[in-house]
A and B are shown apart, each in its own frame.
Chain A
Amino acid sequence: MILVKDNRCDFCGTCVAVCPVDAIELREADISIIHDTCIDCDICIWVCPIDVLTSDKPVEVEND
């Protein structure tokens, strides 16, 4: 499930633009994920310029 960190979002819409299934609702100063529609592809997490979004899936460990 995609989680939105409290009071961090700048409402820029970049995540909305890349979401393949239109699962992000954004108003002037209000963002919410439509969890029933979301397919957990995580690309909104990748693209957010200020790291507002996270997932509650277990974190993959990086080996570098």
Chain B
Amino acid sequence: MTDYDVIVVGGGPAGSMAAEAAAKGGAKTLLLEKDRDIGYPVRCGEGVGAKALKQFMNPDPGMIAATISKVRMRSPDNTCVDFGQEEAGYILHRRIFDVALANRASKAGAEIQTRAYVDGLLMEDEAVTGVKYQYMGQHRHLTSKIVIAADGVESRVGRMAGLRTSTKLKDMESGYQVTVGNIDVDQEMIDFYVGDNWAPGGYLWIFPKGDGMANIGLGILGIYSRYDSAHDRTHSFIKKYFPKATILASVCGGIPVGKTLKKMTSHGFMLTGDAAHMVNPVTGGGIITGMQGGQIAGEVAALAIQKGNVSEKGLEDYPIRWHRTEGKTHEAFYRISQTIDTITDEQLNKIAHRLVKTPSSELSLLKIFTTVAREKPKMLLDVTRAFAGV
């Protein structure tokens, strides 16, 4: 007998979805989170697509800071490409959102323990058989049939299981964000700045947070962040454009924008969310993809336990199902991101000049990417793949 069927490490969106799905599938489930609070600190711009979120829930108004119907993309010479769509997305209060997801897991029957830092795995030969953790200064261990590591960008638990989870410098966005007050921004619009000026290899974002507040942040590829950090760039931007803004909160964080790990399971072990590099490589969005990955992982874990086979073979449905739902699109987006990185500021300006001539009712992300593909024809096939979801 093991203490639990499934132990999930990490209480972010991926971990909570995994715990909920495992518990719903009949598995005795425990989730361990190292921080004192689920949902805090918030290392996130908090933007999600409305349609994507609604696959999982009808969001409670209390978790939504702003509803987005307009998108602005600015080229390096500050040409604004505007387009819109009714209720295209939300800026969440992730502190509330993450707690709601963890609460859903507990309603499904999962136990949750915060302040529990997993610092090792129990192993028998190559098989993972439980976790070692520290709780309030005490060393403890618990056995399980499956450990699901949803420990975020650090992904150390995967390394403990012998998987190679570290992120290459060229695939890591170094991110920083402040939540500011006292600024006058359109509360229905998300605003992006692309180009080398503010965020080489990434972008700068302004996401409204309701009531004269906004998240302003940026991500830059690790290879560009040695001498001018994400922190310094963000503060220069605010000084220049919003000198009267007050800083209400600041966080930093890394966004893994490489390909999803090929190997995300081993005997009795699964990786999900940021820990498995599931973030969309173009947008850097990882809330929805993490929820998707976590849910599949939890479902497959519960089924494997019912069938009595938790070997890598017994868990093979997990990578197969991920590949079918998100994985293929993810790979197309990865190739697009590699091409985007080669576009110069001049080309970006040229693309923007072309796009502003299109009536904004005809503009969409797809239209933007196909216009970009006129500069980089080799991208066109992947754009079609990514947007067709195949």
Interface residues of A (CB under 8 A from B): 10, 12-14, 16-20, 22, 26-28, 43, 45-51, 62
Contacts and interface: CB of A to CB of B under 8 A. Distances in A.
Contacts of B43: 12
B251 A12 contact: yes
Contact of B174 (A20, A48, A62): A48
Nearest to A62: B227
A17 B231 contact: no
Q: Is the interface of A mostly helix, strand, loop or mixed?
A: loop
Nearest to A9: B252
Interface stretch (B82-90, B102-110, B147-155, B301-309): B147-155
B169 interface: yes
B154 A13 contact: yes
Interface in B201-237: 222-223, 225-227, 229-232
17 contacts: A10-B251, A12-B43, A12-B251, A12-B252, A14-B252, A16-B154, A17-B153, A17-B256, A18-B167, A18-B169, A20-B166, A22-B159, A28-B35, A47-B222, A47-B254, A50-B231, A51-B232
B369 interface: no
B34 A49 contact: no
Nearest to B234: A49
B222 A27 contact: no
Interface of B is mostly: mixed
Contacts, number: 88
B172 A14 contact: yes
A50 B229 contact: yes
Contact of B36 (A16, A17, A28): A28
A51 B172 CA distance: 16
A43 B251 CA distance: 20
A43 B230 contact: no
Interface residues of B, number: 34
Given A14-B172, A26-B154, 4 more contacts: A12-B43, A16-B156, A43-B169, A51-B229
Nearest to A20: B166
Nearest to A15: B254
A12 B34 contact: no
Contacts of B34: 27-28
B65 to A, nearest CB: 22
B254 A22 contact: no
Which 10 residue pairs spanning A and B have beta carbons closest together?
Answer: A14-B254, A49-B252, A13-B154, A49-B230, A50-B231, A47-B222, A16-B154, A49-B176, A12-B253, A46-B226
B155 to A, nearest CB: 6
Contacts of A28: 34-36, 115, 117
Interface in B11-64: 34-36, 43
B239 interface: no
Contacts of B35: 28
A26 to B, nearest CB: 7
A13 B254 contact: yes
Given A18-B166, A20-B166, A28-B117, A50 B159 contact: no
A33 B336 CA distance: 36
A27 B115 CA distance: 10
B324 interface: no
Interface string B143-180: 00000000011111001000000111100101110000
